[in-house]
Structure 1
Amino acid sequence: MNLPYAHGAPAVRGVLRTQPEDFVVDEMLGFVPDGRGEHQWLAVRKRGENTAWVAKQLSRLAGCAERDVGYSGLKDRHAVTTQWFSLPAPRGAVSWVALGQKTDAEIVVITRHGRKLRRGTHRGNRFLLTVRGLEGDLSGLNARLERMAQAGVPNWFTEQRFGHDGGNLDAVRAWFAGGKAPQRGQQGMLLSTARSELFNAILARRIDDGTWLQPLQGEPLMLEGRHSFFIAQEDDDALAGRLASGDVHTSAALWGKEGTQAQGACAELEQAVIAADAILAEGLVREGLEAARRPLRVIPRHMHWQIDEAKRVLRVGFELPAGSYATAVMRELIETSD
């Protein structure tokens, strides 16, 4: 992906994920299951397994339909991840140990809750990443990490949203250009891909313009950890401090039938960017998607790191809200290859 850098091009290169243990993800629900109810909740630690495959194995062990297994989000396959699943409480005993015989996974917590786990329920994810084989000038790496922890990084949608070699993007362009509609189960993914591409285009323009952290006239500003927004006022003296502290964020459109939701100069910029990819924008409107906003930046919280110059290894940990990508953080830090 040919996207600009907010903090300048990285001076260091390295290899991410030489093994699954180099990419550790722990899902953070943001609440504790209440321990009772008709749904069994399982925290599963898996290595090198994708979420849908594990959900399928759980449904077979429990004797329920695959659609009855709930999970909040898809996790990286080439990683060690811990995430929650839910399913209707089995009537009889289930040998959950058998999960490890079919997959490289184990159940670490079993509890109950009153509701099924729905998509997008979790608050965020905690990451611990290891980059090996560091090359280049390491002298500025500490300062770059400190800058990113303070100011944040561009909240890109990264490669996994667009499919292998951008295949999802090619598919949605073909669909919107008059091709055959994909199967119903694939449409949601492709619509998300189209919105992601348009969002990235607006974010790229704002970085190129030097305004990705500076609100434009009429820009919707988003509250930290919330989906709500308010329109920036030019006479708001406290706004600069709130932006610097990470309490609010600049934003860009997730395109839909309502259009930009911005006003003034911000609306003009977004409409100009969107006009350059009218096929995607018009297709999203035609499919009836509701417009939304997404922060232009994400601040990695509780960021910590260790640089072993002798072994040329970097270990870095941080927390991100649901919907933001660890790979967006890492691309701003170093030039990586998997």
Structure 2
Amino acid sequence: MSIEMNWSYLYGKPQINALFKTEVEDFIVTENLGFEATGEGEHVFIRLQKRNENTQFVAKQIAKIAGLPAKMVTYAGLKDRRGLTEQTFSVHIPGLVTPDFSELNSDLVQILSITRHNRKLKTGALAGNAFTIRLRDVSDMAGLTERLEQVKQGVPNYFGEQRFGFNGGNITAAKAMFNGRKVKDRFKKGMYLSAARSYLFNKVVSQRIEQGLAFTVLPGDCCGLVGSRSYFITEAEDTSLAERLAQQNIKLTGPLWGKGELAANLEAQDFELAALAGEEELKQGLEANGLKQERRALFILPEGLSYHAEGNDMVVSFYLESGCYATSVLRELVEVQENHANFSE
């Protein structure tokens, strides 16, 4: 049984069609760690570019060359296999001798730099990612241009469909796990927990849009300061918040479910609880597994969004902060049809 995931569109469902990922170069991702390696320390940072290659597979190859367990190789985040991606891996190698990683170089992987750092690269330890996306055979270029101007104002910060698995299979697996099914694989368990949490968050975002509250500050909303990790709770009589939201000085947030009290209160708390009515199984399962209440921006701004037409293709570039999905931008622009004919398996 598939899981319902018909999330609301902020600007209405697009009626424009385009092909995506026909060629490897149609999806280019450049990871931005947000800091420079120190040049010394026990951790070797390997910056590389990979074509149509899996992040975990590359990590295993690095571990093999270093003669270490795969768990000793870390990276800030998984990157899509189908595309041209640039990212950094780290491996813990004390001492002065750095292994020769040159055998990593191939038609699919190219080492860009190797340096040392005093700390390992942890999951999530990145500032964001820059994307360049080519949409081919666009059915309505004028319509796409109009929508591109719209999304400059922001898009829903949905977790991407890849997090949920085929037909929401990771949600089904999470429910089975919460009902007693043993999951010994730590990676799979983490994946199911993340999927359940992300699903609840997406429901709150979708309901916010459906009820016409995407650009409305509710009394009791937990708002974040743009460019900061600080949050504050709104009060009913504060009329200046609507202008601050329109000027993108503050951002609305929603719950990443876990133990503890919701940060939102008053009308905002009522809204969030109503949006997640009927999801006690997932909420209780997340709490039982030790996750704690956190917050995430409901909407995101694709920074530096630019675009240009090349014949019937549109090339779009933008930057997203860590944890945000390019697919959340794409789904507001076009109905994409992925064509992997030129990708080797």
TM-score range, shorter chain: over 0.9
1:109 aligns with 2:113: yes
Deviation at 1:91, TM superposition (A): 5.2
1:123-272 paired onto structure 2 within 5 Å: 123-135=127-139, 137-149=140-152, 151-272=153-274
What is the alpha-carbon distance in structure 2 between the residues aligned to residue 205 and residue 14 of structure 1?
A: 28
Counterpart of 1:139 in 2: which secondary structure? helix
For the 8 Å contact 1:175–1:182, the answer to whether it is kept is no
What is the alpha-carbon distance in structure 2 between the residues aligned to residue 199 and residue 169 of structure 1?
A: 13
Q: Percent identity?
A: 40
1:30 aligns with 2:25: no
Structure with the bigger RCO (C-alpha within 8 Å, sep 6+) is 2
Once the two structures are superposed, residues 65-87 of structure 1 have per-residue CA deviations (whole angstroms, 9 ceiling, x without a partner) of 21111210000010110001111
Deviation at 1:185, TM superposition (A): 3.1
For the 8 Å contact 1:220–1:230, the answer to whether it is kept is yes
One-letter amino acid of the structure 2 residue matched with residue 58 of structure 1: I
Deviation at 1:141, TM superposition (A): 2.3
Q: Greater CA deviation, 156-165 or 77-86? A: 156-165
What is the alpha-carbon distance in structure 1 between the residues aligned to residue 184 and residue 249 of structure 2?
A: 40
What is the alpha-carbon distance in structure 2 between the residues aligned to residue 329 and residue 27 of structure 1?
A: 17
For the 8 Å contact 1:225–1:321, the answer to whether it is kept is no
What is the alpha-carbon distance in structure 1 between the residues aligned to residue 227 and residue 192 of structure 2?
A: 26
Q: Greater CA deviation, 316-325 or 258-267? A: 258-267
Counterpart of 1:168 in 2: which secondary structure? helix
Residue number in structure 1 paired with 2:314: 314
Once the two structures are superposed, residues 173-195 of structure 1 have per-residue CA deviations (whole angstroms, 9 ceiling, x without a partner) of 12223433453332111111101
What is the alpha-carbon distance in structure 2 between the residues aligned to residue 300 and residue 18 of structure 1?
A: 23
Q: Greater CA deviation, 234-243 or 107-116? A: 234-243
Deviation at 1:292, TM superposition (A): 0.5
Residue number in structure 2 paired with 1:96: 101
Counterpart of 2:82 in 1: which secondary structure? coil
Once the two structures are superposed, residues 140-170 of structure 1 have per-residue CA deviations (whole angstroms, 9 ceiling, x without a partner) of 3222212211x20000011111123322111
> In structure 2, do the counterparts of structure 1 residues 180 and 110 end up closer, same or farther at CA, with 3 Å as the change threshold?
closer
What is the alpha-carbon distance in structure 2 between the residues aligned to residue 63 and residue 182 of structure 1?
A: 26
Q: What is the total number of aligned residue pairs between the two structures?
A: 333
One-letter amino acid of the structure 2 residue matched with residue 138 of structure 1: M
Residue number in structure 1 paired with 2:335: 335
What is the alpha-carbon distance in structure 2 between the residues aligned to residue 290 and residue 316 of structure 1?
A: 37
Deviation at 1:259, TM superposition (A): 4.1
Gaps of 5+ in 2: 339-345
For the 8 Å contact 1:253–1:293, the answer to whether it is kept is yes
Root mean square deviation, CA, Å: 1.7
For the 8 Å contact 2:138–2:313, the answer to whether it is kept is yes
Deviation at 1:271, TM superposition (A): 1.0
1:42-61 paired onto structure 2 within 5 Å: 42-61=46-65
What is the alpha-carbon distance in structure 2 between the residues aligned to residue 177 and residue 96 of structure 1?
A: 45
Gaps of 5+ in 1: none
> In structure 2, do the counterparts of structure 1 residues 56 and 88 end up closer, same or farther at CA, with 3 Å as the change threshold?
same
For the 8 Å contact 1:213–1:249, the answer to whether it is kept is no
> In structure 2, do the counterparts of structure 1 residues 141 and 93 end up closer, same or farther at CA, with 3 Å as the change threshold?
closer
Taking structure 1 as the reference length, the TM-score comes to 0.94
Counterpart of 1:70 in 2: which secondary structure? strand
Deviation at 1:262, TM superposition (A): 0.9
Deviation at 1:332, TM superposition (A): 0.4
Counterpart of 1:131 in 2: which secondary structure? strand
What is the alpha-carbon distance in structure 2 between the residues aligned to residue 225 and residue 123 of structure 1?
A: 11
What is the alpha-carbon distance in structure 2 between the residues aligned to residue 288 and residue 92 of structure 1?
A: 41
One-letter amino acid of the structure 2 residue matched with residue 253 of structure 1: P
